[in-house]
Chain A
Amino acid sequence: MSGYAVSVRDLTVRYGRTTAVDRVSFDLEADGIYGLLGRNGSGKTSTLSVLASLRRATAGTVLVDGADPFENEALMAGIALIRESGDVLANAKISVNFDYFRRVRPAWDPDFAEELVDVFGLNRKKPISTFSRGQKSAFGAVIGLASRAPLTMFDEVYLGMDAPSRYRFYDLLLADYAEHPRTIILSSHLISEIERLFSGVVVIDEGRLLLSEDVDEFRTRGATFTGPVAAVDAVTAGLRVVASRSLGPTKEVTVYGDLDETTLAGARSADIAIGGVSVQDLFVHLTEKESR
């Protein structure tokens, strides 16, 4: 089974007077790994909830694999949203949960699920509710991975895990995705560890879409210049500086915005090293500016 494409048009979600998502539009190709980036309260979870048809859109349309997922049972079976809050049978043991997911997830892989339980060292004898925060997150990851849903969404699941578990999760996700391609959305605000996994990023802030693009395109929205202080200052004068660090006679300046060839050529001839900028740095810069 391969992944579902996603198309969101003018999506609006309101809770009473609060507008959580405000006319957001974006498209995700099938079989990509996407980062849905936004600060806390930016509308990430509301957007994902509509995609998972846990919530109905106030206005706008959402298409998954070309159809509206709302109350579409066949489609919903192929859409998995894993939230940190659980979405599992908390008072039951792992085996009971697995029986349940085997019934609701057509592509469920029971052997893979058992293997994942061993990898994360989860206790098979106790109900999920007795697990620590990290273990609950890991169990969410197990469910998300073993479901192999054509649209799999992890909503900040890995934030509860400790570093070794997080890296285990990234590695398992990548290896399994390579074998069984599907559309994956990872939503978070902490992304430096995973930004190279993304094929595309969607950035939302205060319910509005800031941008949605290919990750290579996104990364060229900025650059880092490293070299002698005076030369770097000369080249970056007049540019939008995001961050700046000095180390003795050397300075590293991160800038945002399209760079023309003159600037780049000037930097090269002044022996300034031009580097890429991290998705995390760009994201922090974009959402800081927009909220002020």
Chain B
Amino acid sequence: MFDGREPIYIQIADQIRGDILAGNLAEGEQVMSTTQYATTFRINPATAAKAFAQLVDEGVLYKQRGVGMFVAEGAPARLRSDRRETFLAERLEPVLAEARVLGIGSADLIRWIERAGDDPEQTTTEDTTTEGEQR
């Protein structure tokens, strides 16, 4: 856990966002305290606190004085829409740029997307071919 190259507090924040998106942490649910988090994962409490502070700033978590921290109402929906935007901007955009360079038109792209999405059998066949090639 936390094997990435980014600062650990960013990895912790990402993990909590992921838990909220996956539904492991529900809206309004209490999250671990920074102390619990630090001792559970054996990390510096200041590092955990920094991650939690970032999530509070983003409105993903909210603090209730003397009680603890909770997942904010609407956090899953907001995270999902943020991630969608990131997905479109950072993942899809480069693919489209590359397609333009290669002269693949929108109609071709749409046909590919529809084929991959609507025909699971096709996907399975392709997967098998790839595995066969690797061996």
Interface residues of chain A, those whose CB is within 8 Å of chain B, are 31-33, 170-171, 174-175, 177-179, 194, 196-199, 215-216, 219-220, 223, 249, 274-277
Contact = CB atoms under 8 A, between A and B. Distances in A.
Contacts of A32: 46
Contacts of B24: none
A219 B39 CA distance: 21
B112 interface: no
Contacts of A216: 7-9
Which 3 A-B pairs give the minimum distances between C-beta atoms?
A216-B7, A178-B35, A276-B5
Interface of B: 2-9, 34-35, 38-39, 41-47, 134
A179 B6 CA distance: 27
B2 A196 contact: yes
B5 A175 contact: no
A196 B8 contact: yes
A175 to B, nearest CB: 5
A178 B5 contact: no
A115 to B, nearest CB: 16
Contact of B45 (A174, A194, A219): A174
Residue of B7, B39, B44 with most partner-chain A CB within 10 A: B44
Contacts of B4: 275-276
B114 to A, nearest CB: 25
Nearest to B10: A216
A153 to B, nearest CB: 17
A155 to B, nearest CB: 20
Nearest to A170: B42
A179 B35 contact: yes
A175 B44 contact: no
B8 A178 contact: no
B41 A196 contact: yes
B42 A196 contact: yes
Given A170-B42, A178-B38, A275 B47 contact: no
A219 B41 CA distance: 18
A178 B39 contact: yes
Contact of B39 (A174, A199, A220, A274): A174
A275 B44 contact: no
Nearest to A32: B46
Contacts of B7: 216, 219
A199 B3 contact: no
26 contacts: A31-B46, A33-B44, A174-B45, A178-B35, A178-B38, A194-B42, A196-B8, A196-B42, A196-B43, A196-B47, A198-B44, A199-B44, A199-B46, A199-B47, A215-B8, A215-B44, A216-B7, A219-B5, A220-B5, A223-B5, A275-B4, A276-B2, A276-B3, A276-B4, A276-B6, A277-B5
